[in-house]
Amino acid sequence: VLRALIFDVDGTLADTERDGHRPAFNAAFTEHGLDVRWSVEEYGRLLKITGGHRRIAADLRTRGMGDEADEIAQRIHTTKTALFRESILAGTIVARPGLVELVESLTAARLRVAIATTGRRSWVEPLVARLLGEGIAEVVVTGDDVSRLKPDPEVYRLALEQLELPASQAMAVEDSAVGLAAATAAGLATVVVTNGYTVAQDFTGAAVVLAAFADPEPLTAGRCRDIHR
């Protein structure tokens, strides 16, 4: 039986990569006096590297920076995290269409809701509270809580542990191939809801691949149970 849905955040709850992270990374580069600007195309490629700090460090290394890349990346990422948190508190990030209705359907059907993301807790918590409602996600596991980021399954294993459920009683909701790999390695069936950045990726092994939460028919608790069976 299905007891819980574990949601990814970036690209799944909202189009955060497009509307929030990329502009915040670019603003942080400027603030630190670096002549780096990630285009949509370039950022799409860089998304394979999970974790903002690792993403910056990898890019700085391809620009010829050596040992100092990690430390500079850390500083830029601290600025980026603060900027992104501010934009969340200002209300600039909105839920993907159909997400709020899905979550309402889940809580009405007494299905539990959890979060498993590689993002940082300082912005994840206010964003999740804002999009889903305060206290709706009973478990929130972030990049601060694990030592290995997706595609490693650690974040999903920790979420299951905190839910006190076996993988067979939960399902993941993801937007990317990296996230699908993490959830699958934790033993979870996975619903993939693609977005502009991920639509062309390979989702072999997903329980179902959808282009939207609400289109052509709404994803509901009942449909989640059918997919899980």
Q: Which positions lie near Mg ion, rule CB under 5 A?
A: 8, 10-11, 175-176, 179
210 with 224: CB under 8 angstroms?
no
- DSSP letters spanning 134-183: TT--SEEE-GGG-SS-TTSTHHHHHHHHHHT--GGGEEEEESSHHHHHHH
183 close to 159: Cβ distance less than 8 angstroms: no
Closest CA to 116 of 95, 135, 143, 147: 143
- Is the Cβ of residue 122 or residue 225 nearer to ligand XBP in the bound state? 122
Site for ligand XBP in 132-171 (CB under 6 A): 143, 150
Q: Which stretch binds ligand XBP (CB under 6 A): 90-98, 116-124, 161-169, 215-223?
A: 116-124
The binder of 220, among ligand XBP, Mg ion, none, by C-beta within 5 to 8 A per type, is none
Beta-strand runs (E) in the chain: 4-7, 112-116, 139-141, 170-174, 189-193, 208-210
**Among the listed residues 7, 26, 52, 60, the single contact to ligand XBP using CB under 6 A:** 52
Does 202 participate in catalysis according to the annotation?
Answer: no
Contact 134, 190 (CB under 8 A): no
Stretch that binds ligand XBP, among 36-44, 96-104, 174-182, 207-215 (CB under 6 A): 174-182
Give the nearest residue (CB) to ligand XBP. Answer: 52
Q: Is 21 in the site for ligand XBP (CB under 6 A)?
A: yes
Q: Is 10 a catalytic residue?
A: yes
Q: Is 59 in the site for ligand XBP (CB under 6 A)?
A: no
Residue 194, interface with ligand XBP (CB under 6 A)? no
Helices (H) and strands (E) in the chain, counts: 10, 6
Provide the binding-site residues for ligand XBP, judged by CB under 6 A.
Answer: 8-11, 17, 21, 50-52, 81, 117-120, 143, 150, 176, 178-179
**Which positions are annotated as active-site residues?**
8, 10
